[in-house]
Copies of this chain bind each other. A is one copy, B any other.
Amino acid sequence: MNTKFRPLHDRIVVKRLDQDQKSSGGIIIPDTAKEKPIQGEVLAVGKGAVNEEGKLRPMEVKTGDKVLFAKYAGTEVKLDGEELLIMRESDVMGIIE
Contacts and interface: CB of A to CB of B under 8 A. Distances in A.
A89 B94 CA distance: 14
Q: Give the number of copies in the complex.
A: 7
**Chain A contact residues (Cβ within 8 angstroms of B): what range?**
35 or more
Nearest to A56: B54
Contacts of A28: none
A69 B31 CA distance: 26
Given A8-B95, A37-B78, A53-B55, 9 more contacts: A3-B97, A4-B96, A8-B89, A9-B60, A35-B76, A37-B76, A46-B94, A50-B60, A51-B53
Interface of A: 3-9, 11, 13, 35-37, 44, 46-47, 50-55, 57-58, 60-61, 68, 70, 75-78, 86, 89-90, 92-97
